[in-house]
Chain A
């Protein structure tokens, strides 16, 4: 697989060449939050009640997981039903072959 040796070499060289630029960028001070204020610094009138949001998040989780399990169960039932129909059709003394 020698065609994969030169891409690896190119990758290493590319990383080495651009590492100084990356380091230079990282040493700059992080930008300010650009207009986003931490929500608990806002005046009390603009804050959101947290409890309904937490409840919403956990209920979404329950809905998703139970919905998925129900979907698997439904598909499994369809497959089992088809298998039973197929076996019934075949067992009464080899019908149409």
Chain B
């Protein structure tokens, strides 16, 4: 076989192995979670409690403040995401499974991608419940432009989760991990939060400002690419001693 064909074949095998490892890690997380559904239910109820608390701040004389729905939705997603990240990696730390994963002859970046997909899946389930709830309680027309809304939510969740997974993984060995995670994570993901909230506001105002929302979606996509690339690049050196 010629050298070029051989290289192409090897690269294809590497790519397949990468995807397979990521899929295996994701399947492991989903299987463990599906047994007890502990993280899912507790985080879900936390999100609901969050929205309740915010309603006391942002509802005046029985009417929600103009445009409050979008902001509250994203705050609830960020706070629940923080909790979910902490709980997921606490589980890894307790069973010392991360060290086992890192010892395996698998590309480190694939392990990261597997964990990231697990977190994104968990947050997506929570958002499935949160979006109708916020739309109902705050009379926000979140379903008026479903395509844009889904794009905003998906890109925002991926952007937040990719940095969150990296930071939660690297903080696992730290003593003050619980308080350090939000301190480090929130400032870095501010561009994602801003884009998400302003994009949602653009969609829920009357009349809906679609070009503005598209601009924010494009910016979110750009942030996501930058953050995912940086996180993939940094995962390996951060996880080695």
Contact = CB atoms under 8 A, between A and B. Distances in A.
**Direct A–B contact present (CB less than 8 angstroms):** yes
A80 B71 CA distance: 51
Interface residues of A, number: 15
A45 B228 CA distance: 54
Given A2-B11, A15-B222, A7 B215 contact: no
Contact of A25 (B109, B212, B222): B212
B211 interface: yes
A4 B229 contact: yes
Contact of A24 (B18, B211, B225, B229): B211
B140 interface: no
Given A10-B225, A11-B225, A14-B225, A3 B232 contact: yes
A22 B219 CA distance: 10
A21 B221 contact: no
Interface of B: 11, 15, 18, 109, 211-212, 214-215, 217-218, 221-222, 225-226, 228-229, 232-233
29 contacts: A2-B11, A2-B15, A3-B18, A3-B109, A4-B232, A4-B233, A7-B225, A7-B229, A8-B225, A10-B221, A10-B225, A11-B221, A11-B225, A11-B226, A14-B218, A14-B221, A14-B222, A14-B225, A17-B218, A18-B214, A18-B217, A18-B218, A21-B214, A21-B215, A22-B215, A22-B218, A24-B211, A25-B212, A25-B215
